[in-house]
Every structure is written in structure tokens, then in C-alpha cells.
Amino acid sequence: MKPLIVVKLGGSVVTRKDEPFKPNTLVIEQVSKQVSGLLRDYSFILVHGGGSYGHVVASEHRVDEGYLEPNQLIGLSRVKLSMNELTQLILASLASHGVPAVPVTPVSCLTCSSGRIESFFTRPLRMMLSLGLVPLIPGDIAMDSSEKRFTIVSGDQLASFLAVRLGAVKLIYGTDVDGVFTSDPRLNPDASLIRRLNRRTIRGFAASLRPGDVTGGICKKIEEGLYAAEKGVRVIIGNLTRPEALSLMVKDEAGFECTILEAG
């Protein structure tokens, strides 16, 4: 079987986060074309975030807080509607480049406990991969066995969990910046890229990292990525808006600016 690569397409990659319900069509097309070219040598699971689709609706209805009152339930439907729309846009792009992607809905095959995945029926994913299909999985709502009763399972958590469970050789977190910086590079021109990061070295930067959106932003990405790195998966955080970035990260071409998460 071909080496498995799990790619998390961040919300900042597949959408324009400063404009509600606006896809980043150019980058989606770039990524689809690169996946198509890589399929001869690799298997892929693609996980995508919500960006200006899911996060907007989830925040409005406080879905990340769990069940609060009955009127909140319609928010689950609206989150699903918005995420389904984004998934379909990505799916159409992949299909146009000959990528045999199949959408997978997490709410139907996993449960959480206090926001963490507790069970995941992965057999269909294994069967898809054995056929050469590419599972396309959004961050999603999920039923939760704790008092929360429902939660949001982020694409970051899904990607890390599946990379470990399915034996991926590499997990790529795609963002719109070159990796993890000493502070927000959009606000601080003196911010420096951290090329290698583990639990010991992150302590010096934790205070300068912004928590982010309803699914935790860069902090959660690092947390989930370190979990996978400590299980033996090679984990990279890099800028998927750059031309040919996915191909370069998959092939480990020298000179590509990114952050590698390591055990230790």
C-alpha cells in the first residue's frame, strides 16, 4: 500500500476568513492539482477546516460550549449546512482534477467525550484507501457522552487522530503562514519562524501564541500535532497558499520554509 499522507486544509487556506462564506478558490484549485499529481505515489486523507463558513455559524450559536438550551439545536443544522457547502466546493475542485475523493461525515461515525474523540469507526476509511479513494473530511459537530451532549470536533483533532490510528507517514497542517512564529507575523514584522518545535521549546513561546477561533487556532494545531509526532508521525506546519507547497512538503524538498513538530 502507498504511504499515507494526512493533510489538514486549514480554514485560512480554503476560505477567506475576513469575508463570511467566501471560498479561496485559487488555493483550493492549486491544492487539488497537486494532490492529483501526487496520487501515483501516495495515499491521502484530506481534512478541512471551517474558516469563514463553519466558524461563523458555530460561534453565533455557541456550539463549542455544548448543549445550553433547546433553541440552540437549530445551530447544529446551520453548522452542517455551511460546512456541507464548503465540502462540496472542495469536492468539485478535486473531481475536476481527477481526484477520486469521497466526503465522509464525522458526526455519523464517531463520538466524543468532553470534546475529545472517544470512538471512531474507521473501517470505511481503510476500505476507501485500499481502493485508491481519497476521503475528504470536514471538521464537524459530534455527539458527546459528557454533560456537553454535543461538541465541535476540529479538523486539527481529526487529522491528528487519523494520522496515528491509520499509520500515516506524515501529517501536514496547511495554513496561510509559513509555520509557527515567535509572535503573530501579521502584527509583528520582527516575528521569527520557529523551524523545529517540541514540548520543551514551546514553553518559551506559549504566551505569545493567540488561542484563535472556536476550535483553538494555532495553539490547538500545535497540541494535536505534537501528539501525532510523539506517536512517530512526521508533522509539518506550513503555508499551503504558496505555489507547489503541498508537493514540496510531501516530498521534503530542501529549502521550504515550515515548522516541524518533534517528540521530546
Predicted confidence at residue 204, as pLDDT, reads: 61
Predicted confidence at residue 233, as pLDDT, reads: 97
Model's pTM, two decimal places? Answer: 0.94
Residue-range definition of the domain harbouring residue 245: 4-261
Give the pLDDT means over successive 10-residue stretches in the chain (264 positions). 96 91 96 98 97 87 94 95 97 98 97 97 98 97 97 96 98 94 83 90 63 59 95 96 94 85 88
User: Is 69 buried (19+), middle (13-18) or exposed (0-12) by CB count in 10 A?
Assistant: exposed
Predicted confidence at residue 1, as pLDDT, reads: 82
Predicted confidence at residue 113, as pLDDT, reads: 97
- Cα–Cα distance between 165 and 187 in angstroms, integer? 37
Instruction: Indicate which CATH number applies to the domain containing 147.
Output: 3.40.1160.10
Report H helices in 19-72: 25-38, 51-60
Domains identified in the chain, total number: 1
Predicted confidence at residue 205, as pLDDT, reads: 63
